[in-house]
Structure 1
Amino acid sequence: MSAAPLPAAAPGGPLIQVTLSTLEHHAYCPRQAGLILLEDGYADDAATTRGTLMHQRVHEPGHETRGAVRTLRALPVWHDQLALTGVCDVVELHHDGRIIPVEHKSGSYVPEGPADIQVGGQAMCLEAMFGRPVPIAAVYSGADRRRHTVAVDDALRRRIADLATAVRRTLSEMALPAAPADQRCRRCSMRDMCMPRLLARAQAFSQATSTLFRPSPEAAWDD
């Protein structure tokens, strides 16, 4: 398995550091990530509160060994060359050399969704730290109480690198991405802060009026 190409350092300085949780937010909705990064905005709802309660145990630093598996909890991870940083809910160290990060989510698992981005980034950080391949990660879903395997393949690695670049662009330009105003907004705890429908209507009105009041070329006038 070949690794995705790593970005070069930005001209005049190192890459802007990006957290793995920010990558997950940006994968779900770029505007949500922008509100958190640029306006220090965040809001809880029932779903985010359930997630917080679920993470209370795994976010307590510690370790334990059961059989052939040593389990680390709340492990800080980083990748210097990619300028990524984060905290793993759980990392399993198997006696056969396998390293498996396990991300815990209170909701349903969505294949190839934002949770894959976060746990895939954790795997890439662990590779850099331990110096060995981490081709498999996992997402534990509290909704179905199941563990879902995530392949940390080239496609996922490219998505993670591209998302990190997009997050850095948001930070550099200091501009909020447009509101999607789609089905994601109904499940977002930040919809009242974002006001996606209002912004979408304003954008549609602006486009309509700019066309309506655009002067026609002189040759097209009908006197």
Structure 2
Amino acid sequence: MSLRTLQADGAPVLQVTLSALEHHAYCPRQAGLILLEDGYADDAATIRGTLMHQRVHDPGYETRGAVRTLRALPVWHDGLALVGVCDVVEIHHDGPVIPVEHKSGSYKAGGPADVQVTGQAMCLEAMFGCSVPQGVVYSTADRRRHTVAVDAAARERVLTLAEEVRHTLTTATLPDAAADQRCRRCSMHDMCMPRVLARRGAIMRAASSLFTPQPEAAWDD
């Protein structure tokens, strides 16, 4: 997939939120449950994240030295049909514009947070008419900033995931359950029932054998 304006025959393309990209990057089924069934469940980790975001989600700005910091900035890219909100955007006096995504958990290089901050950078480029070659993920657990390169591979990943989210929306079909180590850390585990769904074939075979009519001879006994 190439970086292009996502328009076909003049028809509008479904908008995809940057948060949906992050959820889909973590688990397509999790994103599907949120988008198609309006499902969501909190646990200790998500509540901790919500509390941490309270400050950065209050719209406003401040200037310290040569850096102006914008909080809770709405961003969009009309050509790519992406929309979202940046936790923080740093505008440096000497030119750089840097999106900063705040996360309560530990940072994982190449993880879903990288997708979200790359999407933010792409939106900022369209809005400000400048190049945004990197973003930052700030991890509260690590207490440090992690630089994310907004390179060609990262941009292609955003576009690919956006198309996958659109497929989920247009087909209204929930992706299959992952049923792997991700499920243990997911607040939506009980809603998703991954282990039950992963054994769907065995369950259907067992149900089929239970309700298969027996030969008449068996009833004569």
Name the counterpart of 1:169.
Answer: 167
SS at match of 2:147: strand
Pairing of 1:1-223 with structure 2 (within 5 A): 5-11=3-9, 13-206=11-204
- Please give the per-residue CA displacement for 1:88-147, whole angstroms capped at 9, x wherever unaligned: 000000011100000000000000000000010000000000001000100000101100
Structure 1 gap ranges (5+): 211-223
Residue identity opposite 1:158 in structure 2 = E
* Paired residue total: 207
- Kindly indicate whether the alpha-carbon contact (under 8 Å) linking 1:43 and 1:190 is maintained by their aligned counterparts in 2: yes
Aligned counterparts of 1:22 and 1:36: Cα–Cα separation in 2: 8
1:43 deviation in Å?
0.3
1:63 deviation in Å?
0.4
Question: CA 1:154 to 1:209, structure 2 compared with 1: closer, same or farther past 3 Å?
Answer: farther
Aligned counterparts of 1:12 and 1:172: Cα–Cα separation in 2: 18
SS at match of 2:199: helix
Question: CA 1:67 to 1:45, structure 2 compared with 1: closer, same or farther past 3 Å?
Answer: same
Aligned counterparts of 2:127 and 2:5: Cα–Cα separation in 1: 18
Residue identity opposite 2:105 in structure 1 = G
1:173 deviation in Å?
0.4
1:7 deviation in Å?
4.7
Residue identity opposite 1:122 in structure 2 = Q
Q: TM-score, normalised by structure 2?
A: 0.90
Residue identity opposite 1:5 in structure 2 = L
1:56 deviation in Å?
0.2
- Kindly indicate whether the alpha-carbon contact (under 8 Å) linking 2:6 and 2:81 is maintained by their aligned counterparts in 1: no
SS at match of 1:102: strand
Aligned counterparts of 2:205 and 2:148: Cα–Cα separation in 1: 42
- Kindly indicate whether the alpha-carbon contact (under 8 Å) linking 2:56 and 2:88 is maintained by their aligned counterparts in 1: yes
Question: CA 1:104 to 1:182, structure 2 compared with 1: closer, same or farther past 3 Å?
Answer: same
Q: TM-score, normalised by structure 1?
A: 0.89
Name the counterpart of 2:213.
Answer: none
Aligned counterparts of 1:67 and 1:207: Cα–Cα separation in 2: 68
- Kindly indicate whether the alpha-carbon contact (under 8 Å) linking 1:6 and 1:161 is maintained by their aligned counterparts in 2: no
Aligned counterparts of 1:81 and 1:10: Cα–Cα separation in 2: 11
Q: Which runs of 4+ in 1 moved over 2 A?
A: 203-210
Question: CA 1:16 to 1:66, structure 2 compared with 1: closer, same or farther past 3 Å?
Answer: same
Aligned counterparts of 1:145 and 1:136: Cα–Cα separation in 2: 19
Question: CA 1:207 to 1:128, structure 2 compared with 1: closer, same or farther past 3 Å?
Answer: farther
Residue identity opposite 2:18 in structure 1 = L
Question: CA 1:149 to 1:204, structure 2 compared with 1: closer, same or farther past 3 Å?
Answer: farther
1:12 deviation in Å?
5.9
Aligned counterparts of 2:205 and 2:10: Cα–Cα separation in 1: 39
